[in-house]
């Protein structure tokens, strides 16, 4: 199974979103992380399933929450670039391709 490596900004946005959801309803942040974890396990099981875009970026939609995980598939790992809310500015995370 491929190793998962999170971009630091992807982790920061996940924690920020979880805090926001917890302020809306206690425990909802944990449910967001459970949804992210389930999606990451599916990515590990079938990392090549979503087709890449022109830059080689693939994405996976969370089931319950309005987020999409953007990632790159490397030979030994899955690099998660963003855990992006679907209403956020499209492509804001693309600068992370350089990191």
At the top level of CATH, the class of 3-89 is: alpha beta
Give the start-end residues of each E strand in 28-94.
57-61, 67-73, 77-85
β-strand 3-6 against 67-73: which pairing, if any?
unpaired
* Domain residue extents for the chain: 3-89
Q: pTM of the full predicted structure?
A: 0.93
What confidence tens digit (pLDDT) does each residue in 85-96 have? 999 888 899 999
pLDDT of residue 35: 98
Nearest CA to 76 among 42, 50, 99, 44? 44
The rounded distance, in Å, linking the Cα atoms of 69 and 65 is: 11
Please give the Cα distance from 15 to 87 (Å, whole number).
17
**Measured between alpha carbons, how far apart are the two ends of the chain, in Å?**
23
pLDDT per residue as tens digits for the range 6-65: 999 999 999 999 999 999 999 999 999 999 999 999 999 999 989 999 999 999 999 999
């Amino acid at each position: 199974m491929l190793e998962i490596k999170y971009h630091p900004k992807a982790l920061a946005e996940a924690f920020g979103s979880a805090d926001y959801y917890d302020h809306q309803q206690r425990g909802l942040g944990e449910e967001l992380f459970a949804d992210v974890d389930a999606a990451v396990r599916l990515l590990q099981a079938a990392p090549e399933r979503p087709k890449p875009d022109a830059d080689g970026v693939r994405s996976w939609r969370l089931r319950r929450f309005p987020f999409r995980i953007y990632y790159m598939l490397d030979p030994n790992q899955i690099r998660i670039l963003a855990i992006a809310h679907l209403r956020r500015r499209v492509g804001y995370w693309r600068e992370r391709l350089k990191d």
